[in-house]
Amino acid sequence: MSEQFFHVGQRWSNTAETDLGIGIVTQVNERTVTLFFPSTEELRNYAQANAPLTRLEFQPRDMIETEDGTNYRVLTRHEEEGLYFYEAESDNGEVKILCESQVQGSSSMPEPLKRLLQGHFEHYKTFGMRLKTWELQSHYDQNPAKGFIGPRVDPIPHQFHIAQTVSRHAEARVMLADEVGLGKTIEAG
């Protein structure tokens, strides 16, 4: 990963949690950076050395949207003091210089294609691991005995009888009171 330089006002997205949307750098310390994500109203702190963040960069011809909802087409981009400034044209022909802190997001290009063209892609083994994880999760979710897979239990036939009896009640409120050592304790797995 190339070295990242953070400045207050920059726009970054979290590649690990894309549902957070686009964040704004609010504070930069020696080792950490703080981002505010307006779409989820969350404030997050990241270590600068290994933050899962990607800088939001628009290229000429990309469509951008400002905070007031106006759409612009990017004409040029330049950087001053760590912030991107976009020369952009609105739908009615008005040309403005917009700081990246004024830009909400948007793009005319789908995100996966954009990441590929910008050279932001992962090793193929990462995809394989993610695919295998989804397959295992699906297999687990479909298993009728999934509640017995994680906990440390040694099922005894009378436990199943009790569980079956309790599950027939509309409100399953039961107090187990029997002799010591008959298997009432279940440790979470």
Per-residue pLDDT of the chain (189 residues; tens, 9 = 90+): 456 789 999 998 888 887 888 889 999 998 999 999 888 889 999 998 888 888 888 888 888 888 888 889 999 999 998 899 999 998 888 899 999 888 876 554 456 666 666 566 677 788 889 899 999 999 988 887 777 677 766 677 777 777 788 778 777 677 777 777 766 666 554
- Cβ–Cβ under 8 Å, residues 21 and 35: no
pLDDT at 69: 82
For residues 63 and 72, give the distance between their C-alpha atoms in angstroms, rounded to a whole number.
6
Same domain, 32 and 76: no
Instruction: Let me know if residue 173 belongs to a domain.
Output: no
Nearest to 44 by CA among 25, 29, 57: 25
pLDDT in the model for residue 28:
93
Tell me what pLDDT residue 123 has. 74
Coil vs helix vs strand at 65: strand
Q: Evaluate whether residue 188 is within a structural domain.
A: no
Residue 187 lies in a domain: no
Give residue 116's pLDDT.
66
Task: Return the number of other C-beta atoms located less than 10 Å from residue 136's C-beta.
Answer: 10
| Domain presence at residue 2 | no
- Both 67 and 51 in one domain: the answer is no
Domain extent, residue 73, equals 63-121
The alpha carbon dihedral of 20, 21, 22, 24 has a sign of negative
* Percentage helix, strand, coil for the chain under 3-state DSSP, each rounded to 5: 25, 30, 45
The mean of the pLDDT values for the chain is 81
What's the CATH code of the domain at 41?
2.30.30.140
The total of structural domains in the chain comes to 3
Distance between alpha carbon 178 and the CA centroid of its chain, in Å? 47
- Same domain? For 37 and 86 the reply is no
Amino acid at the residue 102: Q
pTM: 0.54
Q: What angle do CA 158, 160, 163 make, to 5 degrees?
A: 110
